């Protein structure tokens, strides 16, 4: 039985460390290759909204550092991990949707939003589903871009491994990780070779938007995680890859 090499693209903080630990616990060999880095904008969300929406751990930490106060707003988190981060930052969480996606949060709030002011505080690559969905429900929506997501310098080891046929699986957690993977491959003159290498690997993604982005750019996708969480993605990708990737 040979090692199952799995590329993971999480930011280079505890999220990457946790991902590596999880993959190792599943018997895989992680190929950590961060494809996202945070550049804070120093913007502060509005404090006069009826609903305040936070979509990430990074966003929760940045609003806390800025001294933002939600006032009487109903504070919404897009999923339980974001909710945990919001609570650690010192805020109460009022709403977490049953489905941990932008559309899930829209569905959870839609009946309450007619005429309401909604503040959405997130990255520069947030899904348009939140804004359009809230507006369609009758809300007045304001977006604050808390941070930009950029590709770290030096990323691309996974692209080299894929091009060399040395990658068994890859876990893409967002459209941007797929886009940055291909940019890193192109910087090395290996874009087509890396795509070909992924065809022989098992590619798992979180969410339909990520699947669509990958497919549009030529990356074959083998599975969409059953839940929008990295642990589900990792387990299901490893499980799918193991029968064909191990002797």
Cα separation of 108 and 192, whole Å?
A: 42
Q: Is 31 left (phi over 0), alpha (psi -120 to 50) or beta?
A: beta
Q: What are phi and psi of 139, to 5 degrees?
A: -85, 155
| Three-state DSSP class for residue 62 | helix
Q: What is the pLDDT of residue 92?
A: 96
DSSP letter assigned to residue 95: B
Asked if domains 4-37+156-241 and 41-149 share a fold, the reply is: yes
Model pLDDT for residues 190-237, shown as the tens digit of each residue = 999 999 999 999 999 998 889 999 999 999 999 999 988 899 999 999
pLDDT tops 80 at residue 1: no
Q: What is the pLDDT of residue 245?
A: 43
Q: What is the pLDDT of residue 246?
A: 41
Cα separation of 204 and 242, whole Å?
A: 13
Domain ranges of the chain: 4-37+156-241, 41-149
Cα separation of 28 and 22, whole Å?
A: 9
Q: Is residue 243 within 8 Å of 114, Cβ to Cβ?
A: no
> What is the pLDDT averaged over residues 85-90?
94
DSSP letter assigned to residue 72: T
Q: What is the pLDDT of residue 2?
A: 52
State percent of the chain over pLDDT 70.
97
Cα separation of 68 and 46, whole Å?
A: 8
Model pLDDT for residues 102-159, shown as the tens digit of each residue = 889 999 999 999 999 999 999 998 889 999 999 999 999 999 999 999 999 899 999 9
Q: Is residue 44 within 8 Å of 21, Cβ to Cβ?
A: no
pLDDT tops 50 at residue 166: yes
Q: Which residue has the higher pLDDT, 99 or 73?
A: 73
CATH number listed for the domain at residues 4-37+156-241? 3.40.50.10090
What mean pLDDT, rounded, does the chain reach? 93
Q: How far is CA 71 from CA 67, 75, 117, 159, in A?
A: 12, 10, 13, 46
Q: Which residues of 104-124 are buried (b: 16+ CB within 10 A; e: fewer)?
A: bbbeebeeebeebbbbbbbbe
Q: Which CATH architecture has domain 41-149?
A: 3-Layer(aba) Sandwich (3.40)
Task: Kindly report the pTM of this predicted structure.
Answer: 0.77
């Amino acid at each position: 039985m040979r090692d199952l090499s799995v590329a993971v693209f999480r930011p280079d903080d505890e999220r990457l460390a946790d991902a590596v630990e999880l993959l190792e616990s599943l018997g895989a060999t992680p190929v950590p290759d961060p494809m996202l880095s945070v550049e804070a904008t120093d913007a502060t969300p509005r404090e006069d909204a009826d609903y305040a929406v936070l979509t990430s751990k990074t966003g929760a930490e940045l609003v806390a550092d800025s001294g933002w106060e939600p006032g009487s707003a109903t504070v919404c988190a897009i999923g339980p991990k974001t909710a945990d981060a919001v609570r650690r930052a010192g805020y109460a969480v009022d709403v977490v949707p049953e489905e941990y996606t932008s559309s899930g949060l829209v569905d959870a709030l839609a009946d309450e939003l007619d005429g309401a002011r909604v503040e959405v505080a997130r990255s520069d690559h947030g899904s348009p589903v939140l804004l359009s969905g809230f507006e369609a429900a009758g809300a007045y929506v304001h977006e604050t871009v808390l941070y930009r997501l950029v590709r770290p310098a030096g990323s691309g080891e996974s692209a080299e491994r894929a091009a060399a046929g040395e990658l068994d699986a890859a876990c893409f957690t967002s459209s941007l990780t797929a886009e940055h993977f291909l940019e890193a491959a192109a910087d090395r003159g290996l874009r087509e070779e890396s795509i070909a290498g992924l065809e022989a690997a098992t590619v798992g993604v979180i969410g339909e938007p990520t699947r669509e982005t990958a497919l549009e750019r030529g990356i074959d996708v083998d599975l969409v995680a059953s839940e929008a969480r990295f642990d589900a993605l990792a387990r299901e990708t490893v499980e799918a890859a193991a029968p064909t990737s191990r002797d």
